[in-house]
Structure 1
């Protein structure tokens, strides 16, 4: 069979693969783009775009239910149409996918191959009956939901398949008390479902500080979400024609919970098994992530791995930054690298929880000395005026340099507010400059200078 030769092959059309294809094409390269599923990857199809659309609808439902506290009464009871929400989500997704498709079709030097890409050698990839060859190969295959043992034969949903529901679940059981599980917990609780979250650990979002986990749990419990902690979920089974039963060990005591729907939110795994990486000689770690250096190079010359499959970040913004690193390298600047990134992300419960840099637990483990300050949202006028006083702001400053080392905001607008701290961190701005700044009134951000004025040594 004839081998088609390209300048570059990109496996996966996610948030790194697509912009890379357009960038290389603009430089005159002949590019092969391989996609086994829908164009756009996780973010467009089953991640950020659809879930944040649902978060927005759930927020509207919450606002209606809370309106009376702000002096607004409604005559009709709340009615949620998941079918309409689903249609809105599909419309937004289709618009994004169509934009990508149109962009590809407008480029004569991008050839789209639909199917699973598999290495047949260090420079060759097979896609169905096609054989492709290139000196540069970029892997952007993403990740998928991890299914834990004991639930293979149960009627369950993942964060992907639950987005196809057209009716609100009566009782949604969620296995996993981390970021994905908590977002869906609040979404469906606000849609009207009874929700139970089962977490095997002693607290939810275990990567966060203890008090942050407790704060988020209290916020969600106030909305009626139930939690089962220390729940070593052993197995599940179908119950009748429409229900499921989760059998678990909670602190040594066996328990059974029955519900109408089951969501497994137990982490994600890289889509690397079908790549045939062993035929290319590309190394992986024990979890299946492709090993890369600071510039996203694998151990094989000419092969790079971008996005979730390299284990260097599980976010759209880190995937896109991976593209920026490759772009910077190809352009000859060679300044951007993975290790320059500052950890930052947001948990899109409401109010959102956002982090940048280190947290208190990491500061305690460090040999450095830190200053710390926090401020409750209930003490901020703008939050009180909006009737959204849950959460707090927190900041850590390295004592010897005066640089901000970490920040956490949980409260109204937190996902945007964290950017102020993040900008100061990237700019290596001494905290006193931010402390002496004049912020707009009335806002939550105007209290950031006041927050920094209250810095005290972080005690163990």
Structure 2
């Protein structure tokens, strides 16, 4: 093997942290190599946020047609063309992939893309097995691991032998499932569950927990379940799946233990959505001395540095919440620390997130469960969406808004479960970032009739938490 090709920077993985970092470092004059094993753009573009939200938009259109009579509009029953729905998704994603490729290969000089699998030979050298069959060895003083995660597979008897869908596989189905079984009641399972139910599949969600989204407050879990049940989604909770089998016709049978005894659940398709695990097991980290936790996530400090000088970890591959917006902020942390000599930390940053069911669940800051765990004194306001003028006019009356404020009237958390919940949550996040108090928002003149106007009345309902 010839001597390794020298670069200033090696980035393993082209996700939401790696791509902008490559561009920023190249603009600063660094010679950058990006190594991508699968598809440029990472999980968000290829099998996460973008394709799922594109499909969810189609499901929302189906629901709008199905409920048109409620608005005085006569329409025939919707007939989803599943192949056309998937084709629309594919076109959107291909455009995004092309944009990433152009950015990395044409729009910015100083970046070299290697399509293949990277593995550490040492703390400074990567061996790349190219997808075309060749090999390369690369070296640099700075190496960034941005390899993301994959679907976790629970150790259930018969599961591997029976085969199953992951969040990646289900995006490429060409036919609508007759009955989709979903193992896992987290946000991935809920989004796919409502989506496929609206497309016309029968859907059953199975989870070992007592509540959906068990990290959320009970009122959120109950409201989410009620909405999806209204859509026709079936739930089997507090169920331990012990065996999975599949017959000659392709039908799945899940045998689960429940409080009411053993149940057998049958369906045409099975989606496993019980969590994620990091793509670190085949990186050769043992040759570097880089420390990982018991699950394989790469341990980092507040500047995203590993314990080995010059090696960093970005995005979902290190411990913590797994969201695209946090991965992008990882890029900003590294950019500022390396290029701008600003000491910026990845710790104690805001954690906004949205579950893109309909209605959406937007969350920022503390939940009541978290506030009580931290023994904080707080006031809370809860308001049903049905009293909001904009909700009444649009017909989106399901859900509620909840905010928590501290003793100084600063907002410490918000849960917005309603139409445009993510956008309303983002307004509250901006207020929190700007140090505005609940009194400021209660007295702000918002345009009428908007969703934002609901904040005037919401903060008027604050009471001391019990």
TM-score by length of 2: 0.96
SS of 1:274's equivalent?
Answer: coil
2:77 paired with 1:77? yes
Q: Compare 358-367 and 301-310 and name the one that shifted more.
A: 358-367
Aligned mates of 1:252, 1:291 — CA distance in 2: 42
The alignment covers a number of residue pairs equal to: 457
Following TM superposition, by how much is the alpha carbon of 1:330 offset from its aligned partner in structure 2, in angstroms? 1.7
Match of 1:349 in 2: 357
Match of 1:23 in 2: 24
Following TM superposition, by how much is the alpha carbon of 1:251 offset from its aligned partner in structure 2, in angstroms? 1.4
Tell me which of 393, 418, 432 is aligned to 1:385. Answer: 393
Aligned mates of 2:434, 2:361 — CA distance in 1: 23
Tell me which of 235, 246, 249 is aligned to 1:238. Answer: 246
2:49 paired with 1:48? yes
Match of 1:135 in 2: 141
Contact 1:307 1:313 in 2 (8 A): no
1:232-287 per-position Cα deviation (integer Å, ceiling 9, x unaligned):
01121102322111111111611101111111111111101111112111001111
* Unpaired runs of at least 5, structure 1: none
SS of 1:301's equivalent?
Answer: coil
Tell me which of 367, 374, 381 is aligned to 2:375. Answer: 367
Q: How does 1:300-339 map to 2 (within 5 A)?
A: 300-339=308-347
Following TM superposition, by how much is the alpha carbon of 1:229 offset from its aligned partner in structure 2, in angstroms? 0.8
Following TM superposition, by how much is the alpha carbon of 1:326 offset from its aligned partner in structure 2, in angstroms? 0.7
Q: Compare 98-107 and 30-39 and name the one that shifted more.
A: 98-107
Match of 1:437 in 2: 444
Following TM superposition, by how much is the alpha carbon of 1:446 offset from its aligned partner in structure 2, in angstroms? 0.4
Aligned mates of 1:199, 1:244 — CA distance in 2: 17
Following TM superposition, by how much is the alpha carbon of 1:115 offset from its aligned partner in structure 2, in angstroms? 1.2
Match of 2:15 in 1: 14
SS of 1:278's equivalent?
Answer: helix
1:369-418 per-position Cα deviation (integer Å, ceiling 9, x unaligned):
0010011001111101111110000000011x321100010111101110
What is the CA RMSD across the aligned residues, in angstroms? 1.1
Task: Name segments (4+ residues, structure 1) moved above 4 Å.
Answer: none
Following TM superposition, by how much is the alpha carbon of 1:365 offset from its aligned partner in structure 2, in angstroms? 1.5
Match of 1:424 in 2: 431
1:338-377 per-position Cα deviation (integer Å, ceiling 9, x unaligned):
1241121000110101100010001112232001001100
TM-score by length of 1: 0.98
Match of 1:87 in 2: 87
Aligned mates of 1:273, 1:162 — CA distance in 2: 24
Following TM superposition, by how much is the alpha carbon of 1:59 offset from its aligned partner in structure 2, in angstroms? 0.1
SS of 2:222's equivalent?
Answer: helix
Tell me which of 277, 280, 293 is aligned to 1:272. Answer: 280
1:430-454 per-position Cα deviation (integer Å, ceiling 9, x unaligned):
2222222111110121010221122
Following TM superposition, by how much is the alpha carbon of 1:333 offset from its aligned partner in structure 2, in angstroms? 4.2
Contact 2:65 2:77 in 1 (8 A): no
Match of 1:211 in 2: 219
